[in-house]
Structure 1
Amino acid sequence: MSDFSFDRLRRYPDVEADNLFAVDASDRLILDQAADALGPAEAGEVVVLEDKYGALTLGAAALAAARDIRVHQDALSGELALARNAAEAGLSDRYRSLELGEDLLVNARVVLMQLPRSLAALDELAAAIARFAAPDVVVIAGGRIKHMTTAMNEVLSRHFGSVSVSPARQKSRVLTASVPLLAATDGAVWPQFVVHADLGLTVSAHGAAFAGTTIDIGTRYLLEFLDRMKPDAQAAIDLGCGTGVIAAALARRRPRLCVIATDQSAAAVASARATMAANELLDQVTVVRDDALSSQPDASAELIVLNPPFHIGSSVHAGIALKLFDDAGRVLRPDGELWTVWNTHLGYRPALTRLVGTTHQVGRNSKFTVTVSTRR
Structure 2
Amino acid sequence: MTENGFGQVLGMLRRYPDVEAANLQAWDATDTLLLDMAADLLTPESDVVVIGDRYGAITLALLSDVPSRVPARIRVHQDLITGERALRNNARTLGVAAGFEQLPLGEALLGGADLVLLQLPKTLAELEEISAAVARYASAGTVVLAGGRVKHMSLGMNAVLGRYFESVQPQLARQKSRVLVASRARPAQPQPPYPVTEHNSELHLDICAHGAVFAGTKLDIGTRFLLRFLPDMPEAATAVDLGCGTGILAAMYARAHPASAVIATDQSAAAAASAAATAKANGLDGQVSVLQDDAMASLPAGSADLILLNPPFHLGASVHAGAGIKMFEAAARVLAPGGELWTVFNSHLRYVPTLERLVGPTRIKGRNPKFTVAVSVKRRAG
State whether TM-score is above 0.5. yes
The residue type equivalent to 1:163 in the other structure is V
Distance 1:218 1:103 in 2: 37
Give the SS at the match of 2:302: coil
Q: For 1:355-370, what aligned pairs fall within 5 Å after superposition?
A: 355-370=358-373
Q: Say which is worse superposed, 282-291 or 2-11, in terms of deviation.
A: 2-11
CA deviation vs aligned residue, 1:114-161 (integer Å, no higher than 9, x gap):
000100000000010000000000101111111111111111011001
Q: Does the 8 Å CA contact 2:73/2:99 hold for their aligned counterparts?
A: yes
Q: Which residue, out of 229, 232, 236, partners 1:228?
A: 232
Distance 2:191 2:176 in 1: 34
The residue type equivalent to 1:52 in the other structure is R
Match of 1:53 in 2: 55
Match of 1:146 in 2: 151
Q: Which residue, out of 128, 134, 155, partners 2:133?
A: 128
Is residue 344 of structure 2 the alignment partner of residue 341 of structure 1? yes
Distance 2:283 2:149 in 1: 42
Q: Which runs of 5+ in 1 are unaligned?
A: none
The residue type equivalent to 1:241 in the other structure is C
Q: Does the 8 Å CA contact 1:3/1:89 hold for their aligned counterparts?
A: no
CA deviation vs aligned residue, 1:144-195 (integer Å, no higher than 9, x gap):
1111111111110110011111111111111110000014x34751100001
Return the offset for 1:230. 2.1
Distance 2:299 2:8 in 1: 34
Is residue 347 of structure 2 the alignment partner of residue 318 of structure 1? no
Is residue 123 of structure 2 the alignment partner of residue 118 of structure 1? yes
Is residue 75 of structure 2 the alignment partner of residue 70 of structure 1? yes
Q: Does the 8 Å CA contact 2:44/2:70 hold for their aligned counterparts?
A: no
Is residue 129 of structure 2 the alignment partner of residue 95 of structure 1? no
Match of 2:164 in 1: 159
Q: Which residue, out of 9, 13, 20, partners 2:17?
A: 13
CA deviation vs aligned residue, 1:20-53 (integer Å, no higher than 9, x gap):
01011110100111112222543xx110001010
Match of 1:304 in 2: 307
Distance 1:257 1:54 in 2: 39
Match of 1:23 in 2: 27
Distance 1:131 1:117 in 2: 22
Give the SS at the match of 1:38: coil
Q: Does the 8 Å CA contact 2:44/2:71 hold for their aligned counterparts?
A: no
The residue type equivalent to 1:48 in the other structure is V
Give the SS at the match of 1:5: helix
Q: Does the 8 Å CA contact 1:41/1:109 hold for their aligned counterparts?
A: no
Distance 1:254 1:47 in 2: 44
Give the SS at the match of 1:256: coil
Q: Does the 8 Å CA contact 1:31/1:60 hold for their aligned counterparts?
A: yes
Give the SS at the match of 2:76: strand
Distance 2:280 2:8 in 1: 44
Q: Does the 8 Å CA contact 1:74/1:266 hold for their aligned counterparts?
A: yes
Aligned residue-pair number: 371
Is residue 223 of structure 2 the alignment partner of residue 219 of structure 1? yes
Match of 2:176 in 1: 171
Q: Does the 8 Å CA contact 1:83/1:92 hold for their aligned counterparts?
A: no
Q: Say which is worse superposed, 54-63 or 322-331, in terms of deviation.
A: 54-63
Return the offset for 1:3. 12
Q: Does the 8 Å CA contact 1:237/1:303 hold for their aligned counterparts?
A: yes
Q: Does the 8 Å CA contact 2:9/2:64 hold for their aligned counterparts?
A: no
Q: For 1:27-42, what aligned pairs fall within 5 Å after superposition?
A: 27-39=31-43, 41-42=45-46
Q: Say which is worse superposed, 139-148 or 318-327, in terms of deviation.
A: 139-148
Is residue 213 of structure 2 the alignment partner of residue 209 of structure 1? yes
Match of 2:292 in 1: 289
CA deviation vs aligned residue, 1:193-218 (integer Å, no higher than 9, x gap):
00112212100000001100001011
Seq. identity, %: 55
Superposed CA RMSD: 1.4
Distance 1:59 1:310 in 2: 30
Q: Which runs of 5+ in 2 are unaligned?
A: 1-5
Distance 2:42 2:13 in 1: 22
Distance 1:295 1:37 in 2: 41
Q: Does the 8 Å CA contact 2:44/2:72 hold for their aligned counterparts?
A: no
Give the SS at the match of 1:195: strand
